[in-house]
Amino acid sequence: MKILQVLQLLKMYWPVFPLVFLAGLIDAIAGGGGLISLPAYMIAGLPPHQAIATNKMSSSLGTALSTIRFAISGYIHLQTALFAVPCALAGSWAGSSLNLMISNDVFKKLMLVILPVTAVIVLRKKDFEDGKEPCGMKKTIVLSCLIALGIGVYDGFYGPGTGTFLILLLTGLAHMSLQDANGLTKAINISTNIASLTVYLLHGQVLIPLGLLAGICGIAGNYLGVSFFDSRGSKIVRPVMLSVLVIFMCRTIYDFLSA
Protein backbone atom coordinates (compact mmCIF):
# COMPACT_ATOMS: atom_id res chain seq x y z
CA MET A 1 0.00 0.00 0.00
CA LYS A 2 1.46 3.34 -1.07
CA ILE A 3 2.13 6.07 1.49
CA LEU A 4 -0.11 8.52 -0.39
CA GLN A 5 -2.98 6.03 -0.33
CA VAL A 6 -2.54 5.52 3.41
CA LEU A 7 -2.62 9.27 4.02
CA GLN A 8 -5.79 9.60 1.94
CA LEU A 9 -7.47 6.85 3.93
CA LEU A 10 -6.44 8.50 7.20
CA LYS A 11 -7.89 11.81 6.01
CA MET A 12 -11.16 10.37 4.68
CA TYR A 13 -11.92 7.89 7.45
CA TRP A 14 -10.04 9.31 10.44
CA PRO A 15 -12.76 8.45 13.04
CA VAL A 16 -12.39 4.75 12.25
CA PHE A 17 -8.83 4.24 13.43
CA PRO A 18 -8.94 5.55 17.01
CA LEU A 19 -12.35 3.95 17.58
CA VAL A 20 -11.23 0.54 16.26
CA PHE A 21 -8.13 0.85 18.44
CA LEU A 22 -10.46 1.59 21.36
CA ALA A 23 -12.59 -1.41 20.39
CA GLY A 24 -9.46 -3.56 20.69
CA LEU A 25 -8.84 -2.23 24.18
CA ILE A 26 -12.44 -2.98 25.15
CA ASP A 27 -12.20 -6.50 23.74
CA ALA A 28 -9.08 -7.13 25.80
CA ILE A 29 -10.82 -5.98 28.97
CA ALA A 30 -14.31 -7.41 28.71
CA GLY A 31 -15.24 -8.25 25.11
CA GLY A 32 -17.90 -6.56 23.00
CA GLY A 33 -15.56 -4.39 20.95
CA GLY A 34 -17.76 -4.88 17.90
CA LEU A 35 -20.28 -2.52 19.49
CA ILE A 36 -17.68 0.20 18.95
CA SER A 37 -15.93 -0.87 15.74
CA LEU A 38 -19.06 -1.25 13.58
CA PRO A 39 -20.55 2.16 14.50
CA ALA A 40 -17.07 3.63 13.90
CA TYR A 41 -17.30 2.84 10.18
CA MET A 42 -20.78 4.31 9.92
CA ILE A 43 -19.81 7.43 11.87
CA ALA A 44 -17.05 7.86 9.25
CA GLY A 45 -19.70 7.80 6.52
CA LEU A 46 -19.70 4.24 5.16
CA PRO A 47 -23.11 2.80 4.15
CA PRO A 48 -24.27 -0.19 6.25
CA HIS A 49 -23.23 -2.96 3.83
CA GLN A 50 -19.71 -1.59 3.39
CA ALA A 51 -19.43 -0.85 7.10
CA ILE A 52 -20.34 -4.41 8.10
CA ALA A 53 -18.16 -5.91 5.37
CA THR A 54 -15.08 -3.81 6.14
CA ASN A 55 -15.56 -4.29 9.88
CA LYS A 56 -15.62 -8.03 9.19
CA MET A 57 -12.17 -7.80 7.59
CA SER A 58 -10.60 -5.79 10.40
CA SER A 59 -12.13 -7.91 13.16
CA SER A 60 -11.12 -11.13 11.41
CA LEU A 61 -7.43 -10.29 11.85
CA GLY A 62 -7.69 -10.20 15.62
CA THR A 63 -9.94 -13.28 15.71
CA ALA A 64 -7.47 -15.25 13.58
CA LEU A 65 -4.57 -14.47 15.90
CA SER A 66 -6.51 -15.37 19.05
CA THR A 67 -7.79 -18.59 17.44
CA ILE A 68 -4.24 -19.67 16.59
CA ARG A 69 -3.18 -18.96 20.17
CA PHE A 70 -6.06 -21.03 21.58
CA ALA A 71 -5.36 -23.88 19.16
CA ILE A 72 -1.66 -24.02 20.02
CA SER A 73 -2.53 -24.02 23.73
CA GLY A 74 -4.86 -26.99 23.22
CA TYR A 75 -8.05 -25.18 24.27
CA ILE A 76 -10.08 -26.17 21.18
CA HIS A 77 -11.81 -29.55 21.41
CA LEU A 78 -11.23 -30.84 17.89
CA GLN A 79 -13.98 -33.48 17.79
CA THR A 80 -16.70 -30.95 18.63
CA ALA A 81 -15.17 -28.26 16.43
CA LEU A 82 -15.07 -30.55 13.39
CA PHE A 83 -18.86 -30.84 13.50
CA ALA A 84 -19.62 -27.25 14.54
CA VAL A 85 -17.39 -25.47 12.01
CA PRO A 86 -19.29 -26.57 8.84
CA CYS A 87 -22.54 -25.43 10.48
CA ALA A 88 -20.95 -22.08 11.32
CA LEU A 89 -19.74 -21.67 7.73
CA ALA A 90 -23.20 -22.45 6.31
CA GLY A 91 -25.00 -20.16 8.75
CA SER A 92 -22.67 -17.23 8.18
CA TRP A 93 -22.84 -17.58 4.40
CA ALA A 94 -26.64 -17.53 4.59
CA GLY A 95 -26.67 -14.55 6.96
CA SER A 96 -24.30 -12.52 4.79
CA SER A 97 -26.31 -13.29 1.66
CA LEU A 98 -29.51 -12.23 3.45
CA ASN A 99 -27.84 -8.98 4.52
CA LEU A 100 -27.05 -8.09 0.92
CA MET A 101 -30.70 -8.60 -0.09
CA ILE A 102 -31.73 -5.69 2.15
CA SER A 103 -31.21 -2.12 0.97
CA ASN A 104 -28.91 0.22 2.90
CA ASP A 105 -31.83 2.47 3.88
CA VAL A 106 -33.84 -0.41 5.32
CA PHE A 107 -30.78 -1.79 7.11
CA LYS A 108 -30.14 1.59 8.76
CA LYS A 109 -33.63 1.45 10.23
CA LEU A 110 -33.04 -2.11 11.42
CA MET A 111 -29.80 -1.05 13.13
CA LEU A 112 -31.70 1.51 15.20
CA VAL A 113 -33.40 -1.49 16.82
CA ILE A 114 -30.75 -4.23 16.58
CA LEU A 115 -27.82 -2.23 17.95
CA PRO A 116 -29.41 -1.11 21.27
CA VAL A 117 -30.84 -4.59 21.90
CA THR A 118 -27.43 -6.18 21.25
CA ALA A 119 -25.77 -3.64 23.55
CA VAL A 120 -28.16 -4.42 26.41
CA ILE A 121 -27.50 -8.17 26.14
CA VAL A 122 -23.72 -7.83 25.87
CA LEU A 123 -23.31 -5.17 28.55
CA ARG A 124 -25.51 -6.74 31.20
CA LYS A 125 -23.75 -8.45 34.08
CA LYS A 126 -23.39 -12.13 33.29
CA ASP A 127 -22.21 -15.26 35.06
CA PHE A 128 -21.21 -17.69 32.34
CA GLU A 129 -20.74 -20.99 34.16
CA ASP A 130 -23.86 -22.42 35.84
CA GLY A 131 -22.12 -25.18 37.82
CA LYS A 132 -24.11 -27.99 36.12
CA GLU A 133 -22.57 -31.19 34.81
CA PRO A 134 -21.52 -30.96 31.14
CA CYS A 135 -23.75 -32.75 28.63
CA GLY A 136 -22.64 -36.02 27.06
CA MET A 137 -20.51 -35.90 23.93
CA LYS A 138 -23.33 -36.60 21.44
CA LYS A 139 -25.65 -34.00 22.96
CA THR A 140 -22.79 -31.49 23.16
CA ILE A 141 -22.02 -31.96 19.46
CA VAL A 142 -25.69 -31.57 18.45
CA LEU A 143 -26.15 -28.45 20.59
CA SER A 144 -22.85 -26.99 19.37
CA CYS A 145 -23.90 -27.50 15.74
CA LEU A 146 -27.28 -25.82 16.28
CA ILE A 147 -25.67 -22.92 18.15
CA ALA A 148 -22.98 -22.54 15.48
CA LEU A 149 -25.63 -22.50 12.73
CA GLY A 150 -27.88 -19.96 14.47
CA ILE A 151 -25.16 -17.60 15.63
CA GLY A 152 -23.45 -18.02 12.25
CA VAL A 153 -26.53 -16.53 10.59
CA TYR A 154 -26.45 -13.63 13.07
CA ASP A 155 -22.73 -13.01 12.59
CA GLY A 156 -23.01 -13.00 8.82
CA PHE A 157 -26.03 -10.72 8.90
CA TYR A 158 -24.80 -8.28 11.57
CA GLY A 159 -21.98 -9.40 13.89
CA PRO A 160 -21.36 -7.45 17.13
CA GLY A 161 -21.60 -9.58 20.26
CA THR A 162 -21.08 -12.90 18.46
CA GLY A 163 -18.38 -14.16 20.82
CA THR A 164 -20.42 -13.27 23.90
CA PHE A 165 -23.55 -14.94 22.52
CA LEU A 166 -21.61 -18.10 21.68
CA ILE A 167 -20.12 -18.39 25.17
CA LEU A 168 -23.50 -17.70 26.82
CA LEU A 169 -25.20 -20.43 24.78
CA LEU A 170 -22.39 -23.01 25.00
CA THR A 171 -22.15 -22.66 28.78
CA GLY A 172 -25.88 -22.21 29.35
CA LEU A 173 -27.27 -24.95 27.09
CA ALA A 174 -24.42 -27.47 26.77
CA HIS A 175 -23.06 -26.62 30.25
CA MET A 176 -19.52 -26.49 28.89
CA SER A 177 -16.74 -25.15 31.08
CA LEU A 178 -15.75 -21.57 30.34
CA GLN A 179 -12.38 -22.74 29.01
CA ASP A 180 -13.93 -25.26 26.60
CA ALA A 181 -16.61 -22.78 25.54
CA ASN A 182 -13.98 -20.13 24.85
CA GLY A 183 -11.97 -22.52 22.72
CA LEU A 184 -14.96 -23.67 20.66
CA THR A 185 -16.13 -20.06 20.35
CA LYS A 186 -12.83 -19.14 18.68
CA ALA A 187 -13.15 -22.01 16.19
CA ILE A 188 -16.75 -21.09 15.36
CA ASN A 189 -16.08 -17.36 15.21
CA ILE A 190 -13.13 -17.59 12.81
CA SER A 191 -15.29 -19.84 10.61
CA THR A 192 -18.19 -17.37 10.53
CA ASN A 193 -15.74 -14.56 9.78
CA ILE A 194 -14.19 -16.44 6.86
CA ALA A 195 -17.55 -17.31 5.29
CA SER A 196 -19.00 -13.84 5.79
CA LEU A 197 -15.89 -12.05 4.55
CA THR A 198 -15.82 -14.26 1.45
CA VAL A 199 -19.41 -13.33 0.58
CA TYR A 200 -18.74 -9.62 1.05
CA LEU A 201 -15.52 -9.79 -0.97
CA LEU A 202 -17.29 -11.56 -3.82
CA HIS A 203 -19.87 -8.77 -3.89
CA GLY A 204 -17.25 -5.99 -3.73
CA GLN A 205 -18.45 -4.58 -0.40
CA VAL A 206 -15.10 -4.62 1.45
CA LEU A 207 -12.83 -1.57 1.41
CA ILE A 208 -9.71 -3.73 1.68
CA PRO A 209 -7.04 -1.06 2.43
CA LEU A 210 -9.26 0.51 5.10
CA GLY A 211 -10.03 -2.89 6.62
CA LEU A 212 -6.36 -3.84 6.79
CA LEU A 213 -5.29 -0.55 8.40
CA ALA A 214 -8.16 -0.68 10.88
CA GLY A 215 -7.31 -4.30 11.63
CA ILE A 216 -3.78 -3.27 12.62
CA CYS A 217 -5.26 -0.65 14.95
CA GLY A 218 -7.54 -3.28 16.49
CA ILE A 219 -4.66 -5.69 17.05
CA ALA A 220 -2.62 -2.90 18.68
CA GLY A 221 -5.54 -2.07 20.94
CA ASN A 222 -5.90 -5.71 21.99
CA TYR A 223 -2.19 -5.99 22.68
CA LEU A 224 -2.05 -2.87 24.82
CA GLY A 225 -5.26 -3.79 26.59
CA VAL A 226 -3.86 -7.14 27.67
CA SER A 227 -0.54 -5.57 28.63
CA PHE A 228 -1.66 -2.54 30.63
CA PHE A 229 -5.19 -3.00 31.98
CA ASP A 230 -5.94 -4.80 35.22
CA SER A 231 -9.40 -5.84 36.43
CA ARG A 232 -10.23 -2.26 37.44
CA GLY A 233 -9.93 -1.25 33.83
CA SER A 234 -13.32 -2.85 33.22
CA LYS A 235 -14.94 0.18 34.87
CA ILE A 236 -14.36 2.20 31.70
CA VAL A 237 -16.06 -0.32 29.40
CA ARG A 238 -19.71 0.64 29.84
CA PRO A 239 -19.25 4.46 29.73
CA VAL A 240 -17.06 4.24 26.60
CA MET A 241 -19.41 1.87 24.79
CA LEU A 242 -22.48 3.91 25.67
CA SER A 243 -20.77 7.12 24.50
CA VAL A 244 -19.92 5.63 21.10
CA LEU A 245 -23.42 4.18 20.73
CA VAL A 246 -24.98 7.57 21.51
CA ILE A 247 -22.76 9.24 18.89
CA PHE A 248 -23.75 6.60 16.35
CA MET A 249 -27.46 6.94 17.11
CA CYS A 250 -27.24 10.73 16.80
CA ARG A 251 -25.40 10.42 13.47
CA THR A 252 -27.98 7.95 12.13
CA ILE A 253 -30.94 10.09 13.22
CA TYR A 254 -29.29 13.15 11.65
CA ASP A 255 -28.87 11.28 8.36
CA PHE A 256 -32.57 10.40 8.37
CA LEU A 257 -33.67 13.96 9.07
CA SER A 258 -31.37 15.48 6.45
CA ALA A 259 -32.21 12.96 3.72
Residue 51 domain flag: yes
The pLDDT score that the predictor gives to residue 239 is 75
Q: How confident is the model over 77-109, as pLDDT tens digits? A: 899 999 999 999 999 999 999 999 999 888 888
Q: 10-residue block means of pLDDT along the chain (259 residues)?
A: 72 89 78 83 90 93 83 88 97 96 86 80 64 79 96 93 87 86 90 96 94 91 69 61 75 68
Euclidean distance between CA atoms 207 and 200, whole angstroms: 10
Residue 226 domain flag: yes
Residue 7 domain flag: no
Residue type, 25: L
* Whole-number Cα distances in Å, 170 to 83, 176, 186: 14, 6, 12
Residue 2 domain flag: no
Residue 9 domain flag: no
Q: How confident is the model over 166-208, as pLDDT tens digits? A: 988 998 888 888 888 888 998 999 999 999 999 999 999 999 9
Residue 98 domain flag: yes
Residue 8 domain flag: no
Euclidean distance between CA atoms 28 and 39, whole angstroms: 19
Tally of domains within the chain: 1
> What is the domain extent for residue 212?
15-258
Residues 211, 201, 31, 254: is their CA dihedral positive or negative? positive
- 3-12 vs 208-228: helix crossing angle, rounded to 10: 80
The pLDDT score that the predictor gives to residue 126 is 61
Residue 5 domain flag: no
Q: 64, 49, 92, 62: which is closest to 206 by C-alpha?
A: 49
Residue 179 CB contacts under 8 Å (≥ 6 apart), including other chains? 75
The pLDDT score that the predictor gives to residue 33 is 81
